[in-house]
Structure 1
Amino acid sequence: MRSYFERWFQALWFEGHHRWAYFFLLPLSGLYGFFSSRCSRTSVDTLPVPVVVVGNLTVGGTGKTPCTLALTAALRELGWHPGIISRGYGGYQRVPAAVLPASDPAQLGDEPVLMAGRNLAPVWVGRRRVQVAQALLRAHPEVDVLLSDDGLQHRALPRQVECVVVDGARGWGNGALLPAGPLRESLSRLATVDAVVVNCASETPPMSLFSGMAGSVMSLESSSWISLQDPNQTLPRDHFYGQSCLVLAGIGHPERFFGQLERWGIVVERRPFPDHHPYRREDLPAHLDKPVLMTEKDAIKWRRLGLTQGWYLPVDAHLEPALIQRVDTLLRTKDSHG
């Protein structure tokens, strides 16, 4: 049922379908905008280190987690000692907790476990990000900058830098606030952020996505498939060329993944699932007669279910040097966002 409603709203927001529903829902969008503007007046706490928030204005996946990891790696190379905080969406953990590569994604969230597995920085989760940040800093006093994976709308969290990531293919959708559109905040919010990062395969994304702000292009790169059960076993990216494969994706925009594999010559049997889906072994046929391919985020959960025929595709974000330099400069010179 959840998957049906997600597809229905995606069609409304990004494909121009269900126009009658758009006009019916517009008054609710007005109410959403009114109450969200009141929430924006929440008082801001203070932290002893600067914070970079990597967020988005739209519902669904845009590439925030790969962007967060890429910025973390870049800041390490510049001499910073980063830590990562997250709400842990999809998990049930409420109080601050450390995330390890072997942690349970059902408890701490699939994306935090994925980030912890990269071993770039300590990762902590919890419902209240300021408390999470404080707990991380107590456990890791060497950390001198925090990156928040999502949290643009978490007003209590202080931040020196705000990066908004947008899907270059879907953009801002129909431009309306929830629920008539996919926007968590009005596009006027872009006037207050520090960078708009377009997740786009093309080097020339539509300029309308930047809305006059300092913009940057981010590309996702991958080279090898990794075995679900043995991470030391890899296959070249083109190994499954011409083969029929069962491809599952429980991410914000499954069609991006499916389309990418089809461009690589793979015959894709689609199995889309809702974002952060709590997989069960029954979600796939008991007897599999073809390879099963998935994203790294899906693999975090399927690895614990004993699937032996699965392969996942890690992706790394490539950021423009100008964006990295801008973030570094702002961290060293800018006061916190009010």
Structure 2
Amino acid sequence: MLIDRIWYTSRHPLSYLLRPLAWIFAGLGTLRRALFRVGFKQSIRLPVPVIVVGNITAGGTGKTPLTLYLAKQLQLLGYRPGIVSRGYGGKAQQPLCVSGDSDPLICGDEPVLLARSGVPVFVFSDRAAAGQALLSACPDVDVLLCDDGLQHYRLQRDIELCVVDGERGFGNGALIPAGPLREPASRLKKLDAVIVNGQHDSISHPCLFQMSLQPGEFYSPVNAPRHAWQGLRVAAVCGIGNPLRFFNTLRTLGLVFSEHAFADHHAFVAADLPDADIILVTEKDAVKLAVLADVRIWVLPVIAELTPDLACWLGAEIARLKHR
């Protein structure tokens, strides 16, 4: 894609042409943060600890698998987490409770995937309002995870976690639209912890964690019987922020396939599916493809693994917040 070539090539000429727009974007971002800081724009503090999971680059970095990991680990620590999300691509006009079979066209694909974990999930463009609605509906929730909320300053937060794509890093280091950065890389210094998805030796932070996404077992959403795939035409289809990561994961499993990448959050229709015997997709894309009930579709789940122990660190941070 052209945008990837612009953002992840060090000296692409279009990046330089877009720099004036990036300066305007940076100025507006600085002004917006200042308005929240001085109280001109109102921010909301919720009565439970709020943990924001986000990134400073556009595109996928692995926030959703990390949010699922954190929700599970918090439950193991005895907490009752809830999740709020914008619901990117959805059409919710008010705070909306999401279930595992909700319509992704209404609430977004990632919230549906998050809701399938059994944790309460609410979506709305105003994450503070979503959090208030969640706590009203689920008063036993005692800690809130905000998926992709690092730049949503209306919701006050207690812990900020940033996920960095270890493969792509910060690209050319420029702000949108000249580069992939939503905020300057210096923003990392103000974060509580940085989680690198993959390897990236140039990133340093006092509280740095390494994340790897381990592939699980393929499954069929319609419970189709699995047979040997040798000799069959296999295709990999995805509409995620970094399709190369999905394709590379499949290659590590020894699979040979044709690649079919769509834009992030693509709304799939039957015509998008290639002529193949087996179609491999991500869990995120499977949410939107479920309506097609295509027996050729097989889903590859991924599970986040963290080193050192992020859950232990997070539990200590929450305990500190509750006793301050």
TM-score band (shorter)? over 0.9
Query: How many angstroms does 1:306 deviate by?
Result: 2.5
Query: How many angstroms does 1:14 deviate by?
Result: 1.4
Match of 1:221 in 2: 214
Q: Which amino acid aligns with 2:122?
A: W
Match of 1:155 in 2: 153
Match of 1:3 in 2: none
Written as runs of structure 1 = structure 2, the 5 A alignment for 1:145-294 is: 145-200=143-198, 205-210=199-204, 212-230=205-223, 240=229, 244-285=233-274, 288-294=275-281
Match of 2:123 in 1: 125
Query: How many angstroms does 1:303 deviate by?
Result: 1.1
2:304 equivalent to 1:306: no
Match of 1:25 in 2: 18
Name the SS of the counterpart of 1:317 in structure 2. strand
How well do the aligned residues superpose, as a CA RMSD in angstroms? 1.8
Match of 1:329 in 2: 316
Unaligned runs of 5+ in 1: 1-6
TM-score (norm 2): 0.93
Deviation track 1:77-121 (CA, whole Å, cap 9, x = no partner) reads 1111100000000111131010011100010100000111122x1
2:315 equivalent to 1:315: no
Is contact 2:233-2:276 (8 Å) kept? no
Name the SS of the counterpart of 1:224 in structure 2. coil
Structure 1 stretch 259-268 or stretch 248-257: which is displaced more? 259-268
Taking the aligned partners of 1:321 and 1:215, their CA distance within structure 2 comes to: 9
- Aligned mate of 1:9, from 3, 6, 18: 3
Name the SS of the counterpart of 2:202 in structure 1. helix
Q: Which amino acid aligns with 1:98?
A: C
Deviation track 1:177-227 (CA, whole Å, cap 9, x = no partner) reads 111110000011111101110111xxxx333223x3411001111231110
Match of 1:36 in 2: 29
How many correspondences in the alignment? 316
Residue 171 to residue 303, structure 1, CA distance change in 2 (3 Å) = same
Is contact 1:190-1:213 (8 Å) kept? no
TM-score (norm 1): 0.89
Is contact 2:167-2:200 (8 Å) kept? no
Taking the aligned partners of 1:242 and 1:334, their CA distance within structure 2 comes to: 57
Name the SS of the counterpart of 1:115 in structure 2. helix
Residue 234 to residue 29, structure 1, CA distance change in 2 (3 Å) = farther
Structure 1 stretch 40-49 or stretch 135-144: which is displaced more? 40-49
Taking the aligned partners of 1:302 and 1:227, their CA distance within structure 2 comes to: 12
Name the SS of the counterpart of 1:208 in structure 2. coil
Extract structure 1 runs of 4+ deviating beyond 3 A.
233-236, 239-244
Is contact 2:209-2:308 (8 Å) kept? no
Q: Which amino acid aligns with 1:111?
A: E
